[in-house]
Chains A and B, each alone.
Chain A
Amino acid sequence: MKKRITIQTIASGSFAGQGRALRMHCTMPHPTTHISYLSSFIFYLLSLLFTLSCTPSVPDQADEAGRDAVVAPDNHDATLPPNIAPLNFEIQEEGEAYVTRFSTHSGEELVVGGQTTDIDTDRWHQLLQAAVGDTLFTDIYVRQDGRWNHFNRMANPVVPDSIDPYITYRLIRPSYVMYEELTLNERCLESFAERVIYENMTLSHGNSGQCVNCHVPQRQGQSGRSQFHVRQALGGTMFIDGDRITKVNLKTDSTLSAGVYPAWHPTLNLIAYSVNETGQSFHTLDPQKIEVIDYASDLILFDPEQGRVQHIEHTARDYESFPTWSPDGRTLYYISAHHEPVGTDIDADLEQNYQTLHYNIYARAFDPHTRKFGPRQLVFDAESLGKSASTPRVSPDGRYLLFSLADYGQFHIWHKSADLWAMPIAADSLTSSIEGGGEAAVALPLNSPESESYHAWSSNGRWILFSSRRDDGNYTRLYMAYFDAGGHAHRPFLLPQRQPRHDLQMLRSYNAAEFMVRPLQPSRRQLLKAVRSEARRATYGGSALSIPEHDADDTAPLHIANQNHHNIYESN
């Protein structure tokens, strides 16, 4: 028997229904702060009145348009999880009336009207549940000149593997040197609920600006631990453990900078960081606009309990960055590029030769008992391909290494050539992962001509969250793609929004997004209080290598640090 759910349109769904959906699917400790309750109430009241006034129905007769409807965002053929929020879209076809029908093989059906869909969250989830292991179909009808046209049916496979219910990210304008309003946000993927975790302007006054970045959890937040950096005013790295927050200044006299790109050990309370001497230079004519260059970089290991920093990599001519752990915590992967300086002016040298910086992926074995690292081993030789790798991340089952690959450099968000690649590795052995070699690495079919860069695995390893500039080359949007057990990435979909035009209109980028299995525990007020507190200074504990390497300290990168470019990570 056909079960039909008919709802209407621009803002369909009842206030009560929406509230249920939010409670059912998300348990945000603090509801959205961006939209006032008053405006939401008025919005839903008007929607309800409109809903009651007319109900859409699928036309009895319609001509076949013989083509796909133009919709934005276009998520056709994307594989969907059973718990994702409604994928609203705008039908960009001229017409007098619009009807969209979502249906499944099992007979569930949902009909919405209007050029812009606003699908009731509860109904949508019912529909997705009915389509699990099967396909969700979308039929679009547009009345043009009094006649209904039916466009090609869209089909979205729905898999049983759920996606983690939360993501965190930074909202930022695609800026260069300046920054002003930055927020760390948490978004429920099962609904549209979004909250601000931290807003930098709250504690920014006049010229004492504050930058916040890199909210990174340990194991998708399963342990309750995460961290983020605060730079400039009241700077420090905030360590969150449940509702306990500690502020630490990771800069020591023996390290290049405060911690930059973090990687939580999967089980121990340890974090590997890169420390970077980073500058920005600007293209005079290239649409890529900017090059973010590391003039020096190392790796450190931070033990929050002891407040101690140790060097993992500390060489002058090798630039290491973007560490990441294997899921068993026995291997640390990272990228590294070798560069022999030409002359003494590192600024001029790298501004001239930035395209010769090719980062490979390396790894070091880690002994959790001694907390020491073994020798460095090459994992993926990007340079031999004339490419440069960045942001390696290992899948939770330890079978795949996902990384971005571009023509040069490591800050791939500004590189149009940047694509996501995956490489099979062994689950529990560094040696075998290396034996697997880089030959098996493949570019994922989800790439675009624009930059694909920062990415994260869901806790079950079946979903990839990644940043892409495919829409216009400049503004980063978040996409999610299914990564099946066979190692195949499926067509991605855009982060769902209640208003489909949201991402088209917003002149901000999503940055450094991470999956979370549960919401961040501390409140915004708690975080603000912690940021206001004095930072504990980390101490330096020498090398974390089991056998310290000879050239580690005598040509320390500190001595060749760039003179002209302000290091954006210089102060904590």
Chain B
Amino acid sequence: MKQRLPFTFTFVAFALCLLLGPLRPYLVETAALTPFYTTESFAAETISKPCGLLFYLASFLQSCFARPWLGASLFVAVLVAIAYVQRWAFRMSNAWFGLCWLMPFALLLNYTQLGYLVYTLKFPAVAFTPALGFLFTFSFVGLWFRWDKWWWKVAFALVVPAIGFWLFGVYGILAALFTGFCELGIGHWGLMTAHKGYGNFVQPGIGRFGRRLPFTDERDRHMLWGIVVFSLGSAVPVLLRKVLPYPIDVWAGLVQFTDAERQMRLPWILALMLPTFFAIFRMEGKRLWQTVVSAIVFVAAAFATYTYSFRDANFLGILHMKHAAEAGQWEQVLTLARTNEEEPTRAQVCLARLALFKTGRMGNELFAYPDGAASYNAPQQNQWLRLMIGPLLYYHYGKTGFAYRWAMEDLVEYGERPAYLRYLLKVARLNGEQALARRYEAALDRTLFYKSSEYSEYSEFSEFSENSENSENSEYSENSEYSENSDYSDNSDPSLRPLLSYTDQLDGDNGLVEFYLLQSFALSQGGSRPMVELALMNSLITKNLTDFWPRFMALLPGWNGKIPTHYQEAALMVAQLQGGMDTSSLPIDPAIRQRFEQLVQASAQNGDNASNAYALRPAFGDTYWYYYFFVQGMKTT
């Protein structure tokens, strides 16, 4: 026991620190991407398919990641149980106990390595399914040897592969296969010391003639049982495929990675090889070197797990910012954007810009925030922004049709994940579709942790409401079509209403969320004051200055003499570039005028554009001028 506890405590501490430390937002996101409903129909539909019970239980436990402490504790508890049950099943000595942790580390890594792929993996409950599956497998291997009754073994040999397969998928088969390996190993190697009390139920009946009959020798009997169990384990899925009126997936319960994700298979290969090894070669002994080797392997496994866990700063940064945005903590979003030390991805840039818009600081600070187009650390670059924050961006910018569309498309593709239901509910409410909203409310209320009441108040928008200008001051408000769309206002977030003051149209975004938002706002005409400001800002971002002055002038009265900094900068620049506009009458801060003159002089003194970009960044990197002239090639997605 004393030898086991240090391994146990070390593993628990390591796993909890990893899961609840850097990977905490990953756990929360995983829960939102895990469908689990407390309904009879969900249970019946899940359990009626091969591996159904395992998927059901695993989904239940994985949904607990919504409370990271609870979910992580459950996950670690299952992994610890695997180590102990593995030792028990394969009768491993304390000296080799460190090896029992290879499987828990592999299963931990199986989950922590996924990163972005957690969005696209359609496998149910990727963390808990293999963990619970292997726990089941090892439990039955252990029970086989612990209960020395012939009828139990016959029943086991017949029932575990068949019913076990239906309830636990491939793990039911693995239970039979590993048991078969154990028996064959014992029969072949004659490793009987660990099984002293086992198997002598044929001998008494045979009596003194026993040794002359085939399979009466104890080693032969092990071989026989091994062949029987192994054969049944292999045959059952094949038979089921033939007998059932429709084909079944014999690999149900195994994550099937694509070739592009082949490195993800390593923990699985390890997880399948280890028990086979333990089954055939008994891990016995009490020698010190065995303990030392065991400990070294343990430490190496921990190191590998930590190293290969997906702790990409931008990935976790997006998740942090997304969760803050969903909680309406826009200041927190901005803090995260400012403190990010890596070049941001477009998803982070988009979230920061949304937060600036929500807090009414877009015109003053947008170009001072980190910009960039860092690659997502995963294949298929174009899909991650849409998958992670597409509906969120569309919803908050008032493109409710597209928010609903992508939430529904993803629900179709990846299942009834709470993450999608939240936006379907929000849009239904915003559209005034009460009956539809009730359907989604009921669906969320059938989850464990995502109750619809959490989305019934729109407190997250209050900051914007307080900071945004009164649209009544704008001449555009007279043109607003919002009044015509007043039926949408029922039960909706008031701060979003001004963003709905546009004429519906048919459109398509080809999955390019940021590009679509930039273009649709930059090319929009009229609308409420927030919409005009978005049009102005997005035309500045896209460097399309054609309609700058009409939009600027429309917004000018509402600024009450305090034009946001970037618009002052843009006004000076556009006047300089296009001419025909006297900016002296505009209430532009003299310091900004002076700074603009400094920029013009400095750029004239320096050489080419590249050297100007480098030299002027410290002094002017936070201005629209710098963005306009020197920031190029941002790949919007």
**Residues of A in contact, count (CB < 8 Å):** 48
Residues of A within 8 A of B246 (CB): 33, 196, 199, 202, 524-525, 528
Contact assessment for A505 and B44 in the assembled complex, using a CB-CB cutoff below 8 Å: no
Q: Closest approach, in angstroms, between the C-beta of B99 and any C-beta of chain A?
A: 35
Contact assessment for A281 and B506 in the assembled complex, using a CB-CB cutoff below 8 Å: yes
Given contacts A282-B507, A472-B435, contact A289 B404 (CB under 8 A): yes
Digit string of A557-572 for contact with B (CB within 8 Å is 1, else 0)? 0000000110000000
A285 at the interface (CB under 8 A from B): yes
For B47, B405, B506, the residue with the greatest tally of chain A CB atoms inside 10 Å of its CB is: B506
| Chain B residue at minimum C-beta to C-beta distance from A286 | B504
Given contacts A202-B246, A473-B433, contact A285 B442 (CB under 8 A): no
Contact assessment for A285 and B506 in the assembled complex, using a CB-CB cutoff below 8 Å: no
Contact assessment for B438 and A505 in the assembled complex, using a CB-CB cutoff below 8 Å: no
When chains A and B are docked, how far (Å) is the Cα of A169 from the Cα of B412? 18
Residues of A within 8 A of B41 (CB): 499, 501-502, 505-506
Contact assessment for A283 and B435 in the assembled complex, using a CB-CB cutoff below 8 Å: no
Interface residues in B387-437 (C-beta closer than 8 Å to A)? 398-402, 404-405, 408-414, 416, 431-433, 435-436
Digit string of A500-524 for contact with B (CB within 8 Å is 1, else 0)? 0110111100000000000000011
Given contacts A39-B48, A505-B446, contact A283 B505 (CB under 8 A): yes
Q: Closest approach, in angstroms, between the C-beta of A70 and any C-beta of chain B?
A: 14
For B246, B258, B438, B520, the residue with the greatest tally of chain A CB atoms inside 10 Å of its CB is: B246
When chains A and B are docked, how far (Å) is the Cα of A476 from the Cα of B433? 15
B302 at the interface (CB under 8 A from A): no
Residues of B within 8 A of A290 (CB): 405
Contact assessment for B416 and A507 in the assembled complex, using a CB-CB cutoff below 8 Å: yes
Given contacts A202-B247, A284-B504, contact A504 B439 (CB under 8 A): yes
Given contacts A286-B504, A354-B506, A525-B245, contact A507 B435 (CB under 8 A): no
Contact assessment for B412 and A175 in the assembled complex, using a CB-CB cutoff below 8 Å: yes
Q: Closest approach, in angstroms, between the C-beta of A201 and any C-beta of chain B?
A: 9
Contact assessment for A39 and B44 in the assembled complex, using a CB-CB cutoff below 8 Å: yes
Of the listed stretches A83-91, A176-184, A227-235, A245-253, chain B binds A176-184
Residues of A within 8 A of B410 (CB): 178
Given contacts A174-B408, A506-B41, contact A284 B47 (CB under 8 A): no
Contact assessment for B443 and A507 in the assembled complex, using a CB-CB cutoff below 8 Å: yes
Contact assessment for A33 and B245 in the assembled complex, using a CB-CB cutoff below 8 Å: yes
B594 at the interface (CB under 8 A from A): no
Could you say which interface size class chain B belongs to?
Answer: 35 or more
Contact assessment for A179 and B401 in the assembled complex, using a CB-CB cutoff below 8 Å: no
Interface residues in B245-266 (C-beta closer than 8 Å to A)? 245-247, 258
Q: How many A-B residue pairs have CB under 8 A?
A: 130
Interface residues in A512-542 (C-beta closer than 8 Å to B)? 523-525, 528
When chains A and B are docked, how far (Å) is the Cα of A522 from the Cα of B52? 27
Contact assessment for A282 and B402 in the assembled complex, using a CB-CB cutoff below 8 Å: yes
When chains A and B are docked, how far (Å) is the Cα of A160 from the Cα of B504? 49
Residues of A within 8 A of B446 (CB): 505
Given contacts A174-B408, A284-B507, A473-B435, contact A34 B402 (CB under 8 A): no
Residues of B within 8 A of A499 (CB): 40-41
Residues of A within 8 A of B400 (CB): 284-285
Given contacts A36-B48, A175-B409, A199-B246, contact A475 B439 (CB under 8 A): yes
Residues of B within 8 A of A474 (CB): 433, 436, 439
| Chain A residue at minimum C-beta to C-beta distance from B438 | A472
Contact assessment for A177 and B44 in the assembled complex, using a CB-CB cutoff below 8 Å: no
Contact assessment for B409 and A176 in the assembled complex, using a CB-CB cutoff below 8 Å: yes
Residues of A within 8 A of B502 (CB): 284-285
A291 at the interface (CB under 8 A from B): yes
When chains A and B are docked, how far (Å) is the Cα of A2 from the Cα of B368? 85
Residues of A within 8 A of B488 (CB): 285
| Chain B residue at minimum C-beta to C-beta distance from A195 | B245
Q: Closest approach, in angstroms, between the C-beta of A499 and any C-beta of chain B?
A: 7
Q: Closest approach, in angstroms, between the C-beta of A175 and any C-beta of chain B?
A: 4
When chains A and B are docked, how far (Å) is the Cα of A351 from the Cα of B507? 8
Residues of B within 8 A of A1 (CB): none
Residues of B within 8 A of A289 (CB): 401, 404-405
| Chain A residue at minimum C-beta to C-beta distance from B499 | A285
Residues of B within 8 A of A202 (CB): 246-247
Q: Closest approach, in angstroms, between the C-beta of B298 and any C-beta of chain A?
A: 37
Q: Which of A35, A283, A506, A523 sits near B506, CB closer than 8 Å?
A: A283
When chains A and B are docked, how far (Å) is the Cα of A525 from the Cα of B166? 19
Interface residues in A196-222 (C-beta closer than 8 Å to B)? 196, 199, 202, 206
Q: Closest approach, in angstroms, between the C-beta of A178 and any C-beta of chain B?
A: 4
A173 at the interface (CB under 8 A from B): yes
Q: Closest approach, in angstroms, between the C-beta of A2 and any C-beta of chain B?
A: 35
Residues of A within 8 A of B439 (CB): 471-472, 474-475, 504, 507
B500 at the interface (CB under 8 A from A): yes
Residues of B within 8 A of A507 (CB): 411, 416, 439, 443
Residues of A within 8 A of B507 (CB): 281-284, 351
Residues of B within 8 A of A180 (CB): 412-414
When chains A and B are docked, how far (Å) is the Cα of A283 from the Cα of B446? 30
Given contacts A176-B409, A351-B506, A507-B443, contact A286 B401 (CB under 8 A): yes
Contact assessment for A284 and B44 in the assembled complex, using a CB-CB cutoff below 8 Å: no
For A178, A202, A283, A285, the residue with the greatest tally of chain B CB atoms inside 10 Å of its CB is: A285
Q: Closest approach, in angstroms, between the C-beta of A364 and any C-beta of chain B?
A: 32
Which residues from chain B sit less than 8 Å from chain A, CB to CB? 39-41, 44-45, 47-48, 166, 245-247, 258, 398-402, 404-405, 408-414, 416, 431-433, 435-436, 438-439, 442-443, 446, 485, 488, 500, 502-509, 520
4 tightest Cβ-Cβ pairs between the two chains A and B: A472-B435, A281-B506, A285-B504, A175-B412
Which residues from chain A sit less than 8 Å from chain B, CB to CB? 30, 33-36, 39, 173-180, 196, 199, 202, 206, 281-287, 289-291, 351, 354, 471-475, 499, 501-502, 504-507, 523-525, 528, 564-565
A-B contact pairs, 8 of them (CB 8 A): A36-B47, A179-B412, A196-B246, A283-B505, A289-B404, A351-B505, A475-B439, A501-B41
